[in-house]
Amino acid sequence: MDEVHATKIVFPGDKVWSTPVRVKGCYVSGEATYASVLSQASGDRLVLLRGFYDPQPGDAVIGYVSDVKFSGYNVEIFQPYHAFQSSKELRFEYSLGEVIIAKIKEVSETRSVDLEYPKQLKDGRMLNVEPFKVPRIVGRKNSMINSLKDLTGAEIYVGANGVVWFSGKNSSLVIKAINMIREEAHTTGLTERVVKFLQAETGIENYTPRVDEEPAGGSYSRPPGDAGSGSDEGRRYGDRDRYERRERGGDRPRDRGGDRGSYRPRGQGYRR
């Protein structure tokens, strides 16, 4: 726990850097960067301690089919965003309540999510975790998730939306380990402690966490849109802001939103 004190916790409105840096959890005002969510700052890195999921094209998400329509399926992804899997070019049919993992194809301006490449997950359990803790569950170069899989023998999928799906005999141990990661997500040396815990529980000796050199190519176990380990890759969290700027056409004054200045008639569609 000593490392927690070595880094500085920053609060919304605190100045993080004196130079403008566009990363997730920050905003730029004038020439400086300020925190917008509770984070841990150490040097030029910023690790979020709180936050919500921002859907990004390419992310793998897990959810269940909540509605079957003629044109496709509504998928409940436990986020305030509406997710839809079109049945076009789909070789399978799904029915209500079936759990699928799919990639995000497109995110609209109002954060409606279109999915692609769905795959059904059968005979498992779902666990909802905070989406900002997903990078810790996956670990640096998949080390944490590989340890969980190897030591429990479970099949595990992690969605970027914070849904962990797993199947196997040792599911109670998986839940225990994931809850341990959730509770200690802000600490360092977590993989070693989780491995130690799992070794003590299972009696497996001489295990060293396996790392994947290839980043997430085709594998669902790590959200492709994600940079991997949260604590080690803080700076890579720039995707949302890039998306934001592209969609909004540069750094325009931000007060055009809200409940004023709506020059378009309401209910006439928002897409340009």
Minimum separation from the CB atom of position 132 to another protein (A): 7
* Segment holding 37, helix H or strand E: none
Query: Does 59 interact with another protein (rule: CB under 8 A)?
Result: no
d(CA 220, CA 74): 21
Which residue's CB is nearer to another protein, number 92 or number 270? 270
16, 54, 65, 94: residue in contact with another protein (rule CB under 8 A): 54
Write the binding mask 82 to 121 for another protein: x where contact by CB under 8 A, - elsewhere. Answer: ---------------------------xxx----------
Q: How many residues bind another protein (CB under 8 A)?
A: 33
Count CB neighbours of 187 within 10 A.
15
Closest Cα to residue 188, out of 51, 6, 25?
6
What order of strands is seen across the sheet that includes strand 26-29?
15-17, 32-35, 26-29
Which residue's CB is nearer to another protein, number 39 or number 229? 39
Q: What distances in angstroms separate CA 230 from CA 120, 139, 186, one per listed residue?
A: 27, 8, 10
Closest Cα to residue 20, out of 251, 192, 266, 211?
251
Which residue's CB is nearer to another protein, number 21 or number 49? 49
Which residues neighbour 196 within 8 Å (Cβ) at sequence distance 6 or greater?
A: none
Which residue blocks in 48-189 are alpha helix, DSSP H? 134-138, 143-152, 171-183
Minimum separation from the CB atom of position 227 to another protein (A): 19
17, 23, 33, 37: residue in contact with another protein (rule CB under 8 A): 37
Write the binding mask 207 to 246 for another protein: x where contact by CB under 8 A, - elsewhere. Answer: ----------------------------------------
Contact residues toward another protein (CB under 8 A) are 1, 4-5, 9, 11-14, 25, 27, 34, 36-38, 48-52, 54, 80, 109-111, 132, 183, 186, 254, 257-259, 262, 270
